[in-house]
Structure 1
Amino acid sequence: MATHRLTEMPADVLKMIESVAGPVHDVEMVSAGYNSEIAARVHLDNGTLFVKGLRQDHPRVWTQQREADINPFTSGLAPELRWQIRKGGWDLLGFEDLGGRHADYSPGSSDVELVLQSMWCLVSAPLPTTVGLKSMSQRMSAHVTDPADVQFFEGGTLLHTDWKPDNVLIADGHARLVDWAWASRGAAWIDPALWAIWLIASGHSAEDANSLAGQHPAWDITPVKHIDAFARAQKRLWESIARVDRPDEWTHKLHVAAQTWAQYRRGET
């Protein structure tokens, strides 16, 4: 479920930010995204920062610490974390402000190639073994059609896993990845597989989306049955999400996209 987003910066939060960053001259609240109560671009004497935060009693406050823990391992791929504040009932993260814009996944967009380049770089990122990331085998275990299929998703690669266009910023000719709350470990081909579903939801045919995902270096060295099993699991996952939640537009699109990709992987049109 989406977290309610505040439209104004609370006075106590503003004071905490100023205690570590100096005087705040202006605040631009940001509406995009689902996981934070606070998301804002904060203007300071020496530039801007992007601040996101949750109350410490929020059920997903763990995502704040996950992002803080992951950040040292994503240099060059994600905005740099400058500070974390945990007091006064709040958990706040201050990131470098990249500016830029959200990625466009639509057919013909030049952003698609930039996203692929970042995905290739992510394969080389060190796996943060001290962070306690869930494996994709664990995350998919409830959605496979055959329990033995989860072994196909195992691996030692750091995965982002949440390829919503809002989580990819195009800045200075590069695609940079934000919102690492659902980072996981697993097989390197899983990120492009997840991205394929977003591509279909953004207007690509299943064939084109599969072909773009297939440009990832891990794709051709992966047995076809592994990717097929993942497509089936994603179909079941999005079916369960669509049943439990009142589907918004993107949930509906992803549900349909996951079905479409699974059908394509089975050889259906």
Structure 2
Amino acid sequence: MNDRLDWEHLPQSVRDVIEDKTGTVIKAETVIGRRPGLAAHLYAAQDDVFIKAIPADSPAAEPYRREQWAGWHLPVEAPAPRSLWSLEIDGWLVLASELVNDHARHVDLRHDSEDLSLVLDAVGWLAAQHCAIPGPSAVEHFSSLYAKGRLMLDQPHVRNPYLPALEGFNIDRLGGSTLIHGDLGPRTLLTKDTVIYAIDWSTASLGAWWIDLALLAPQLIAEGHSPQQVDELLSAAAPAWANAPARDVIGLTAICGSHHLYQAEHGPDNRRDDALRLAHACPAWLTHRLARL
């Protein structure tokens, strides 16, 4: 399964169960995305919702289960659409969440954007939250990224600054009890009426509190901020950023940067442009952080 599905592709029995919850679906708008399965805005007689669905036994179902888990455990006040319900019916996994996409837009992270301070507040809030419930491990998630990204490190033009950044890095130190989004950026952050919504929690995991802050850094650089300005912005978002373990921040950036390079060269066509954008930003951040050791 390589393409998005439409509402009509769901078995009638599954659509019937969904409509038992939403009322008769009047209109279904498929959302174009990077993952297989159904993602759609449903406009219905009783409740408008955002629906995701995929065959429960699909190899691509794992990100959906991560999103289901995150939806169960995110606080009500989290900067994210509220998870409404989820179910497995006739071999399909279905997730429903609050529909915020109408009249919402993707955030602008450039210098003069009014969105920037709102995004930093939201990410700082997320970094301060702890989750006492077991869940997917950030160590396992980023280990799988590293397994692909390290294939790029054999190429001479990639080795610097990635290999120096990985010296002394222990991926087990990414473990923790904070619920991590894992992919915050303009693609996964919406704003509506000055409220920020982090969407697509398909890379969610439990890990170190500083991970989402560190992953936001290349996104900010890609939007025109200097590495020094990024450090200042992250410190404003979370005063504890100054105490984030420098070697681990650098190592995580190297893992993700090498994975972006892998995706830019070998990934699906619909991911390559974004991967290349971030792959170009990571070396500047790494060079800045390495110079501070």
Output the TM-score relative to the length of structure 2.
Answer: 0.79
Contact kept in structure 2, 1:126 and 1:158, CA below 8 Å: yes
Map of 1:88 onto structure 2? 90
Distance across 2 between alignment mates of 1:258 and 1:265: 11
2:285 pairs, out of 240, 261, 269, with 261
Answer yes or no: is 1:62 the counterpart of 2:62: yes
**Amino acid paired to 1:267:** A
Q: Distance in 1 between matches of 2:96 and 2:186?
A: 21
Q: Structure 1 stretch 164-173 or stretch 242-251: which is displaced more? A: 242-251
Q: How does 1:1-269 map to 2 (within 5 A)?
A: 3-7=2-6, 9-10=8-9, 12=12, 13-31=14-32, 33-74=33-74, 75-77=76-78, 78-99=80-101, 100-131=104-135, 133-136=136-139, 139-140=142-143, 142=147, 145-146=166-167, 148-215=169-236, 216-245=238-267, 248-267=272-291
**1:76-115 deviation line (CA, Å, top 9, x unaligned):** 2222222223223322111111232222223321212111
Q: Give, in angstroms, the shift of residue 220 of structure 1.
A: 1.0
Cα deviation for residue 65 of structure 1 reads: 2.3
Q: Using a 3 Å threshold, how does the CA distance of structure 1 residues 242 and 158 change in structure 2: closer, same or farther?
A: same
CA pair 130-153 structure 1, distance change in 2 beyond 3 A: closer
Stretches of structure 1 lacking an aligned partner (at least 5 in a row): none
1:166 deviates by 2.5
Structure-2 separation of matches of 1:223 and 1:113: 24
Report the AA paired with residue 249 of structure 2.
I
Cα distance in 2 for partners of 1:104, 1:228 equals: 25
Relative CO higher for 1 or 2, CA cutoff 8 Å, sep ≥ 6?
Answer: 2
RMSD: 2.7
Asked if the contact 1:238/1:258 (under 8 Å) is kept, the reply is no
Query: How far does residue 148 in structure 1 lie from its aligned partner after superposition?
Result: 4.5
Structure 2: where are the runs of 5+ without partners?
A: 151-164
Which SS does the other structure have where 2:260 is aligned? helix
In structure 1, C-alpha distance between the alignment counterparts of 2:172 and 2:56, rounded to whole Å: 36
AA in 1 matched with 2:86: Q
1:217-263 CA-partner distances (Å, limit 9, x unpaired): 33112243332333333333333333432662111111111122112
Cα deviations by residue, 1:61-86 (Å, 9 ceiling, x for unpaired) = 12222222221321222222222232
SS of aligned partner of 1:165:
coil
Distance 1:267 1:145, change over 3 A: closer
* Paired residue secondary structure (2:201): coil
Higher helix share: 2
Aligned residues, how many? Answer: 265
Q: Distance in 2 between matches of 1:65 and 1:245?
A: 22
1:8 to partner: Cα distance: 5.3
In the superposition, relative to structure 1, how do residues 209 and 136 fare at CA in structure 2: closer, same or farther (>3 Å)?
Answer: farther
For the structure 1 residues 149 and 65, does the alpha-carbon distance in structure 2 shift closer, same or farther, using more than 3 Å as the test?
A: closer
Q: Counterpart of 1:219 in 2: which secondary structure? A: helix
What percent identity do the matched residue pairs reach?
A: 27
Distance 2:233 2:275 in 1: 22
Alpha carbons of 1:72 and 1:88: their partners in 2 closer, same or farther (altered >3 Å)?
closer
1:133-190 deviation digits (Å, cap 9, x = unpaired): 1133762465573464325433322211111322212123221212112112222111
Task: Assess, with a 3 A threshold, how the Cα gap between structure 1 residues 174 and 107 changes in structure 2: closer, same or farther.
Answer: same
